[in-house]
């Protein structure tokens, strides 16, 4: 699912097989107020993308195994996530192919990190203007015996009982409903709901889950909705249907 770019603190994914490029680039971009995740290959990037709220990808074309062009093509079949290609090739062919596949910009190695920073900011501004996030305020889900109205931040039980949700509880439930049956770590849930990384003692997600459980899995309504996965995180286990 495409996330709205967070210009204040964008989350950048750098995909490059060379550690001597990945690590310094992460340090530089973090100093510029950006959050940065790293992947050493296309396969690592594929694992990260579904559960991380990435705003833009800096993607190397020449990598062992699956190359950047193949990954770019894959991403474009699923979203309009902004992509900036990195290439060491003097030949224009791969750069042209990359742009034809839907990349937003490219930069030739070796490059000045400040130029990359300027391009990242420009692409993010452009993508925010051209592709504003669409919020479906009428979204309704059936979660076991509950009807979840995301726009109204309301749960309604089949027996007619209504339960109001806080903004944080509603957002967490939206994220978990969209990924029902999958184990989501606390870090993933923080990233997807709040666009930030948590510290070792950050209990924000645990607190939201605890409050949701009290509202949904109370003695009067014992239907099981959430499962705690030891060492993993949480999973929504109730049957989910979009209404």
Residue 7 has a pLDDT of 46
Q: What is the mean pLDDT of the chain?
A: 82
Architecture of the structural domain at 11-130: 3-Layer(aba) Sandwich (3.40)
For the chain, domain boundaries: 11-130, 140-242
The confidence band for 64, taking pLDDT boundaries of 50, 70 and 90, is very high
DSSP class of residue 7 equals: T
For domain 140-242, give the CATH number.
Answer: 1.10.10.10
- For 232, residues 6+ apart whose C-beta sits below 8 A from its C-beta are 183, 185
Residue 116 has a pLDDT of 94
Mean pLDDT of 12-16: 96
Whether the model clears a pTM of 0.85, i.e. scores above it, the answer is no
Quote the radius of gyration of the chain (alpha carbons, Å).
Answer: 20
- The answer to whether 11-130 and 140-242 have equal CATH topology is no
Q: Please report, in angstroms and rounded to a whole number, the separation of the first and last CA atoms in the chain.
A: 19
Residue 4 has pLDDT above 50, yes or no: no
């Amino acid at each position: 699912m495409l996330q709205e770019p967070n210009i204040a603190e964008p989350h950048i994914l750098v995909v490059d097989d060379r550690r001597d490029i990945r690590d310094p680039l992460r340090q530089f971009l973090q100093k510029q107020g950006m959050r940065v995740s790293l992947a050493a290959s296309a396969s690592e990037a594929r694992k990260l993308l579904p559960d991380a709220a990435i705003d833009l990808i800096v993607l190397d074309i020449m990598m062992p195994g699956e190359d950047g062009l193949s990954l770019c093509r894959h991403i474009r079949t699923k979203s309009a996530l902004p992509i900036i290609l990195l290439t060491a090739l003097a030949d224009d062919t791969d750069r042209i192919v990359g742009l034809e596949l839907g990349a937003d910009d490219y930069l030739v190695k070796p490059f000045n990190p400040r130029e990359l920073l300027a391009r990242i900011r420009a692409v993010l501004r452009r993508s925010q203007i051209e592709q504003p996030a669409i919020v479906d305020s009428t979204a309704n889900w059936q979660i076991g015996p509950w009807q979840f109205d995301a726009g109204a931040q309301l749960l309604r039980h089949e027996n007619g009982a209504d339960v109001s949700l806080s903004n944080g509880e509603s957002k967490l439930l939206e994220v978990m409903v969209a990924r029902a049956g999958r184990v989501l770590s606390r870090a993933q849930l923080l990233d997807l709901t709040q666009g930030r990384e948590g510290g070792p003692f950050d209990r924000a997600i645990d607190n939201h889950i605890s409050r949701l459980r009290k509202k949904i899995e109370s003695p009067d309504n014992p239907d099981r909705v959430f499962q705690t996965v030891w060492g993993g995180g949480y999973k929504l286990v109730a049957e989910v249907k979009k209404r």
